[in-house]
Amino acid sequence: MSLPIFLIGARGCGKTTVGELLAQALGYAFCDTDHYLQHSTGKTVAEIVAAEGWEGFRLRETDALIAVTAPETIIATGGGMVLAETNRRFMQQRGQVIWLQASATVLAARLAHYPQTSQRPTLTGRSITEEMAEILDERAGLYQQSAHHVIDAMQTPEQVVIQILSALSPAHA
């Protein structure tokens, strides 16, 4: 039985893009906790946050993580999944955790290319680069401590997949 692979990292680091490619490469299923939440609740992330606050969203996110976790599955997680200790422990114990690491500048440039504003409420009125830098400052330690492998996500998606495959334990080879 091959363990699930959890992709963690800030919004825009490529969890969905790389996750789908990695799933193809390994012949695994692909799941995205944000997509799962949208399908299971019929609401967007923004709508859940508006109705239940971030606290309500985080509780639902934990349920989503548990629901999608299965063998031979790549799981793209929401950028804030690591904030809860219970989520960090669950991922570490249940599978391989991979942090897709990218700088605030690269993340902001990627996010500027697609209109995500309707998906996620912005936390402040500041520039997206400033906001990403602050989020990374807050979360880098959590991503680091959660990850079995840290991968440079500032390469092409195909290169990122190759790096992940070589980092994974032989159980996935």
Counting contacts by CB under 6 A, is residue 60 touching ligand ADP? no
- The span from the CA of 53 to the CA of 137, in Å, is 23
What residues does 152 pair with on adjacent strands? 101
Longest CA–CA separation in the chain, Å? 47
Identified binder of ligand ADP from the candidate list 105, 127, 156, 169, rule CB under 6 A: 156
Residue 45 site contact among ligand ADP, Mg ion, none (CB < 5 to 8 Å, cut-off depends on kind): none
Identified binder of ligand ADP from the candidate list 12, 75, 108, 172, rule CB under 6 A: 12
What is the DSSP pairing of strand 96-101 with strand 73-76? unpaired
- CB of residue 107 vs Mg ion: minimum separation in angstroms? 12
Identified binder of ligand ADP from the candidate list 60, 88, 110, 172, rule CB under 6 A: 110
- The span from the CA of 129 to the CA of 156, in Å, is 21
The site for ligand ADP, by CB under 6 A, has a size of: 16
- The span from the CA of 126 to the CA of 163, in Å, is 34
φ, ψ at 96 (rounded to 5°): -100, 130
Counting contacts by CB under 6 A, is residue 78 touching ligand ADP? no
Contacting residues toward ligand ADP, per CB under 6 A: 9, 11-17, 76, 110, 113-114, 153, 156-157, 160
